[in-house]
């Protein structure tokens, strides 16, 4: 999911796929029986990811509802509160030492490292690699939105040129151009417009979310993971699943844990991810285009979300429709309508047609039926 986030251009989609990636960390913690670590990451993640979603919404407001990060850039000086709080959220997300996401994410990685269940080794490699990916897509979005060239000016001129070209053809194309101009007015900055900081109803919650994103990890790490916070709610047999017990042996307080991070592999991968994003999107923007051209099939796979939407449509959605069509034709039409309802009606009609034969209206016919009926009753009830 983190790799998909790298190729997304909608600011909300980048944050959304980041959420799915972090859910993977939480599930990995469950697989290692480090339930407390998974819940801890769920808690810290709630703060900085809510911060990032709200920051994305603030950016969208400032950009007049344009969500494409390719049309942004340089928003730092126009939206300073959104900028600094989004930076705090991004740093917490990538696991910067001493910030909230660092304590929860690092303990998940270490728990999987100490786990003895099958597949723990592969999971550990995936989690460590995910550190680089998270840092790269997070700061790709950060740099494209808040730093660099103010591309929203070029985006406006591009919309104007497109509208003028369409209007020059007349007819329906002129109407389309007018509609495009109307859409550009409502979805993107117009001529002479500049992004503005969001009102207090947005910025105050941003600040309130940024504060716990900074400190909630170091405050809560010891009581949640190694104290009695969960008490008897979570019980793990340490002799069979030693991950949390091993973490407790190596934990010597939040300060020592944070300082030790600077000599670990995840920290340097985080730094490498940020540096790679800076180089690709601030120093040499031609690099991502060259990579996409050379590895087009990987880009297409990620852009199509591993084709999971197609698989869902072809296998699950189409399969459900096929089952529904079978139940409709075989169950509803054939069984319920054909047998239960129409069949009952046809049976009643057949009985009625038979009974109608004796309803002739002639009294001697009825007399004969009465005599036959009396004869049958006498034969049945009179002893022989």
Q: Rounded distance, CA 63 to CA 79, Å?
A: 10
Give phi and psi for 230, each to the nearest 5: -85, -20
pLDDT for res 179: 43
- Mean pLDDT score across all residues of the chain: 87
Q: Would the pLDDT of 359 be above 80?
A: no
pLDDT for res 79: 94
Q: Would the pLDDT of 198 be above 60?
A: yes
Q: Rounded distance, CA 312 to CA 80, Å?
A: 42
pLDDT for res 183: 46
Q: Rounded distance, CA 193 to CA 188, Å?
A: 9
How confident is the model over 137-158, as a mean pLDDT?
84
**Tokens (6 digits) for 288:** 């991502």
pLDDT for res 323: 92
Q: Rounded distance, CA 284 to CA 277, Å?
A: 10
Q: Would the pLDDT of 185 be above 60?
A: no
**Tokens (6 digits) for 164:** 């003028």
Could you tell me if residue 177 is left (phi over 0), alpha (psi between -120 and 50 degrees) or otherwise beta?
Answer: alpha
CA separation, residue 293 to residues 286, 297, 306 (Å): 11, 9, 18
pLDDT for res 187: 63
Residue 228 or 182, more confident: 228
CA atoms within 13 A on the CB side of 289: 4
DSSP-derived letter for residue 99 is S
Q: Would the pLDDT of 186 be above 80?
A: no
pLDDT tens, position by position, 95-125: 999 999 999 999 999 999 999 899 999 999 9
- The CA-based angle 21-26-32, given to 5 degrees, is 130
pLDDT tens, position by position, 283-321: 999 998 899 888 888 888 988 888 888 899 999 999 999
Q: Rounded distance, CA 124 to CA 243, Å?
A: 13
pLDDT for res 191: 61
Residue 89 or 161, more confident: 89
Confidence of residue 182 (pLDDT cuts 50, 70, 90): very low
pLDDT tens, position by position, 26-58: 999 999 999 999 999 999 999 999 999 999 999
Q: Rounded distance, CA 152 to CA 141, Å?
A: 15
Q: Report the largest interatomic distance among the alpha carbons of the chain, rounded to a whole angstrom.
A: 116
**% of the chain exceeding 70 in pLDDT:** 90
pLDDT for res 381: 87
CA 209 to chain centre: 21
* H or E element that contains 227: none
DSSP state string for 162-191: HHHHHHHT-HHHHHHHHHHHHHHHHSS--T
Q: Rounded distance, CA 24 to CA 13, Å?
A: 17
Q: Would the pLDDT of 181 be above 50?
A: no
Q: Which of 22, 33, 144 is nearest to 95 (CA)?
A: 22
Cα-Cα-Cα-Cα dihedral sign, residues 223, 47, 37, 126:
negative
Confidence of residue 75 (pLDDT cuts 50, 70, 90): very high
How confident is the model over 232-257, as a mean pLDDT?
87
Q: Which of 159, 142, 150, 40 is nearest to 88 (CA)?
A: 142
pLDDT for res 177: 43
pLDDT for res 174: 44
**Tokens (6 digits) for 49:** 């990811």
For the entire predicted model, the pTM comes to 0.78
Confidence of residue 160 (pLDDT cuts 50, 70, 90): low
pLDDT for res 379: 87
Confidence of residue 343 (pLDDT cuts 50, 70, 90): confident
Q: Which of 182, 179, 200 is nearest to 190 (CA)?
A: 182
pLDDT for res 272: 96
How confident is the model over 202-211, as a mean pLDDT?
96
CA separation, residue 304 to residues 3, 17, 121, 298 (Å): 12, 13, 29, 10
pLDDT tens, position by position, 4-20: 999 999 999 999 999 99
């Amino acid at each position: 999911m983190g790799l998909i986030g790298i190729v997304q251009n909608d600011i909300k989609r980048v944050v959304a796929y980041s959420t799915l990636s972090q859910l993977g960390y939480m599930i990995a913690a469950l697989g290692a029986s480090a339930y407390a670590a998974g819940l801890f990451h769920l808690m810290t993640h709630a703060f900085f990811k809510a911060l990032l979603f709200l920051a994305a919404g603030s950016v969208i407001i400032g950009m007049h509802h344009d969500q494409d990060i390719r049309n942004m850039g340089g928003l730092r000086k126009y939206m300073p509160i959104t900028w600094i709080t989004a930076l705090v959220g991004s740093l917490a997300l990538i696991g910067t030492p001493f910030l909230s996401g660092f304590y929860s994410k690092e303990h998940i990685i270490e728990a999987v490292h100490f786990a003895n269940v099958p597949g723990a080794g592969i999971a550990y490699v995936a989690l460590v690699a995910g550190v680089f990916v998270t840092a790269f897509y997070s700061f790709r979005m950060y740099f494209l939105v808040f730093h660099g060239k103010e591309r929203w000016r070029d985006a406006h001129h591009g919309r104007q040129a497109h509208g003028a070209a369409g209007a020059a053809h007349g007819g329906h194309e002129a109407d389309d151009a007018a509609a495009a101009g109307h859409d550009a007015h409502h979805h993107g900055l117009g001529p002479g417009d500049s992004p503005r900081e969001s009102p207090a109803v947005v910025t105050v919650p941003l600040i309130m979310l940024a504060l716990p994103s900074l400190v909630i990890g170091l405050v809560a790490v010891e009581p949640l993971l190694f104290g009695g916070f969960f008490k008897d709610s979570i019980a793990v047999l340490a002799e069979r699943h030693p991950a949390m017990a091993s973490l407790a042996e190596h934990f010597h307080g939040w300060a020592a844990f944070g300082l030790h991070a600077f000599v670990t592999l995840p920290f340097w991968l985080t730094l490498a991810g940020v540096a790679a994003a800076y180089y690709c999107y601030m120093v040499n923007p031609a690099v991502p285009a060259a990579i996409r051209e050379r590895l087009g099939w990987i880009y297409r796979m990620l852009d199509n979300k591993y084709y999971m939407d197609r698989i869902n449509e072809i296998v699950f959605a189409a399969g459900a429709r096929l089952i529904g069509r079978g139940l409709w034709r075989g169950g509803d039409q054939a069984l319920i309508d054909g047998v239960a309802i129409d069949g009952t009606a046809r049976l009643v009609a057949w009985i009625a047609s038979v009974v109608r034969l004796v309803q002739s209206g002639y009294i001697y016919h009825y007399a004969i039926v009465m005599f036959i009926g009396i004869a049958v009753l006498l034969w049945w009830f009179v002893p022989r």
